[in-house]
């Protein structure tokens, strides 16, 4: 199953600790595996009348920025945790409207997280569209549909995206 929704956290927390904070806030369940932790909830808590389970693994992110050409960066470079979200086993699209249920559920989860966690976060759709950002000092910001995670859109991100790591952190 492909991951089309991600929430990134600019945090030094361990995945299990962040998962526990998320689960307590949104009433989700934690499933601990030997090598990872999942945060899962019934989709109907987010989208009434939609069956299934929504969530996925919360993992540490491997930094990609040291391997990019000098001067190239992405919005998520400073974010060390990733929650990979998907809908299973229920429908991913609404049969009558064609609405992307995973996107709608991920947006609802992100809103709940932004209302209760004091951690900078990003909601990314389909690997490169920056949907929304939350920063404890600046609040919640939604972005236009054409805003990406790539450095050419940095002016649109403003103060809501954590600054990229500096050369000294390499």
The per-residue pLDDT for range 65-91, each reduced to its tens digit, is 778 888 888 999 999 999 999 998 888
Is the residue at 82 inside a domain?
yes
Does the pLDDT value for residue 168 go beyond 50?
no
pTM of full prediction above 0.75: yes
What are the tens digits of pLDDT across the range 33-62? 999 999 999 999 999 999 999 999 999 998
Strand positions, DSSP E, the chain: 5-9, 29-32, 37-42, 53-60, 81-88, 121-125, 129-135, 139-142
Does the pLDDT value for residue 167 go beyond 60?
no
Check residue 1 and give its pLDDT. Answer: 52
Does the pLDDT value for residue 24 go beyond 60?
yes
Could you tell me which of 72, 169, 64 has the C-alpha nearest to residue 127?
64
Domain residue limits at 36? 5-161
Is the residue at 170 inside a domain?
no
Is the residue at 169 inside a domain?
no
Taking the CA atoms of the chain, what radius of gyration do you get in angstroms? Answer: 16
Q: How far apart are CA 64 and CA 128, in angstroms?
A: 14
Partner residues linked to 148 by β-bridges: 129
Q: How many domains does the chain have?
A: 1
Check: CB of residue 50 under 8 Å from CB of residue 91. Answer: yes
């Amino acid at each position: 199953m492909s991951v089309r929704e991600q929430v990134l956290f600019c945090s030094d927390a361990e995945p299990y600790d962040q998962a526990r904070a998320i689960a307590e806030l949104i009433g989700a369940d934690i499933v601990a595996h030997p090598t990872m932790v999942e945060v899962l909830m019934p989709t109907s808590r987010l989208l009434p009348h939609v069956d299934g389970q929504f969530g996925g693994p919360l993992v540490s992110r491997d930094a990609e920025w040291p391997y990019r050409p000098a001067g190239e960066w992405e919005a998520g470079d400073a974010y060390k945790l990733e929650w990979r979200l998907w809908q299973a086993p229920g429908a991913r699209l609404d049969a009558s409207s064609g609405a992307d249920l995973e996107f709608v559920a991920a947006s609802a989860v992100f809103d709940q997280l932004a209302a209760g966690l004091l951690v900078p976060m990003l909601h990314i759709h389909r690997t490169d569209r920056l949907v929304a950002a939350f920063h404890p000092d600046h609040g919640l910001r939604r972005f236009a549909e054409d805003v990406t995670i790539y450095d050419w859109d940095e002016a649109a991100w403003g103060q809501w995206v954590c600054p990229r790591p500096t050369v000294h952190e390499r």
